[in-house]
Amino acid sequence: MLANFFKLQENQTTFRTEILAGLTTFLTMAYIIFVQPAVLSTDFYGNPTGLNFNAVLLATCIASAAASIFMGLYAQYPIALAPGMGENFFFVSVILALSSLGFQNAWQVALGIVFYSGILFLLLSIFKVRAAIIDAVSPSMRNGIAVGIGLFIAFIGLRNGGIVIGKTGTLLGINTQILSPDVAVFFFGLLLTAVLRVRRIRGAILFGILGSAILALFLGQIKLPPSLFGLPSFSQSAFLKMDLFNALNWSCLPFIIIFTFMAVFDTVGTLIGVAEQAGFIKNNHLPRADKVLVVDSAASVLGAGLGTSTVTAYIESVTGVEYGGRTGLTSITAGLLFILALFFCPLVGMIANYPPITAPALIIVGAMMIQNVSKIKWTDYDECIPAFLTMIGIPMMYSIADGLAFGLITYPLIKFLSGKGKDVRWLMYVLALVLLLYFILFRSKLH
């Protein structure tokens, strides 16, 4: 029955290959189980966001499992989904911005924003107008955004690892306590993860996290919980806690738009990457592409309802494809393993609550995202300058939202004033105007 449903023979694969490919995909993206609760439960300054650690862990595993299984059954592609790196940090940026604007329940409003962005993405997918969004932003700007987020994530990793600290009289500096246990755990994890990546070991990031955890245990920085097994408390769940009413406030509109843009670009980029690797594209056409986008957008709606940031397709799915995965059975396997991970909640909490353990994962993910810098048209100044402003704006402003808005406002302005206004799609002018109004009307209220 499985062979007929997933057309294993037609796709030149076997049940065993699909299962092992799903395991491979899961191992390469399982770091999100440790990273996501740590990112969403505390802001960039180490303060609580309001989201409970166990609630995020529960939402992350259930949303990843449901979305990946839905992808396997409906779109039948070997693409697994989970909360996206980049979107999760932007989510925290939005919480900080909303708090400064006076929202008392900022994290709930932020979940409402993610919910509405998912609905918008779903409508764009159903009515097949996503091409207008994709074409509106130039490839250089899209890649500049990815690089900027990668730099920001890597910077957070350096800070969490105890390498970069604030200095009196300067913006930043290196930690002089270079022999501290925190730094030792960080450097060990970073070197282990990097070497495993170089040697193309599947699950390098996950193994790096586990290796750092073992060293942290040996150094006495963390302690084993009474039991390694146990489910997160469902009483702490953030299920349906999003604030849909306040998320419709005009000050939230730019965030909804940006979340939607990020989701569209992430999904399309991942879809193209996996499809090219697996050889799914025929005559420049990818069968069932619309189904993939529907699954991805529906996953974000589900993720917001469960209590986590934007759920999206993972480029790490390529590892399962490289192993031989060709059908939805691969993504279903990865989804079921996310359910299994829920039973190790105490172990996840022990690891994720000590930042130096997960900090190397942020560095490596940042390095993967920065690769997009080679795709920017550096010889075209009207393309590369706005992309560069976005790249440096995100980490320097310590805000994905502000850095992204900075780039998206300057892009059409530079084009228009350079006599190339016709090269810019009307949607970009509308977006720039919305973001400019956001800065004038709302950003000035932030402190």
pLDDT tens profile 271-317? 766 776 677 767 766 788 788 888 999 999 999 999 999 999 887 78
Longest dimension (CA), the chain: 68
Alpha-carbon span 344 to 227, nearest angstrom: 9
Neighbour-count burial of 277, counting CB atoms closer than 10 A to its CB (0-12 exposed, 13-18 middle, 19+ buried): middle
Alpha-carbon span 251 to 442, nearest angstrom: 6
Most confidently modeled of 144-158, 323-337, 359-373, 393-407?
323-337
Under the banding of pLDDT at 50, 70 and 90, the label for residue 205 is confident
Residues in contact with 240: Cβ distance below 8 Å, sequence separation at least 6, in sequence order: 305
- Amino acid at residue number 309: S
232, 54 contact by CB (below 8 A): yes
Alpha helices in 30-129 (DSSP H): 31-41, 53-70, 87-100, 106-126
Q: CA angle, corner 363, sides to 357 and 367, nearest 5?
A: 155
Alpha-carbon span 308 to 399, nearest angstrom: 19
Alpha-carbon span 181 to 221, nearest angstrom: 7
428, 124 contact by CB (below 8 A): no
Provide mean pLDDT across the span 353-380: 86
Provide mean pLDDT across the span 179-183: 87
What are the C-alpha distances in Å from 145 to residues 60, 154, 363, 423? 24, 14, 17, 20
82, 60 contact by CB (below 8 A): yes
Alpha helices in 307-425 (DSSP H): 317-323, 328-341, 345-352, 355-370, 381-396, 400-417
Instruction: Give the total number of structural domains in the chain.
Output: 1
Helix (H) or strand (E) holding 81: strand 81-83
Tokens 């900080």 correspond to what residue? 96
- Written as six digits, the tokens of 382 are 């009207």
Q: Tell me the residue range of the domain where 191 lies.
A: 2-445
- Nearest of 31, 10, 11, 62 to residue 342 by alpha carbon: 62
Query: 165: helix, coil or strand?
Result: strand
Query: 164: helix, coil or strand?
Result: strand
In this prediction the pTM is 0.78
What are the C-alpha distances in Å from 334 to residues 16, 56, 136, 313, 319? 14, 19, 34, 12, 12
Tokens 């919480």 correspond to what residue? 95
Query: 172: helix, coil or strand?
Result: strand
Under the banding of pLDDT at 50, 70 and 90, the label for residue 41 is very high
Alpha-carbon span 122 to 44, nearest angstrom: 30
Neighbour-count burial of 47, counting CB atoms closer than 10 A to its CB (0-12 exposed, 13-18 middle, 19+ buried): exposed
Under the banding of pLDDT at 50, 70 and 90, the label for residue 200 is confident
> What is residue 276's predicted lDDT score, i.e. its pLDDT?
67
Q: Give the lowest-confidence range in 66-80, 106-120, 229-243.
A: 229-243
412-441 pLDDT tens trace: 999 999 999 888 888 888 888 877 887 776
- Nearest of 173, 177, 182, 281 to residue 222 by alpha carbon: 182
> What is residue 447's predicted lDDT score, i.e. its pLDDT?
46
- Nearest of 287, 205, 268, 175 to residue 32 by alpha carbon: 205
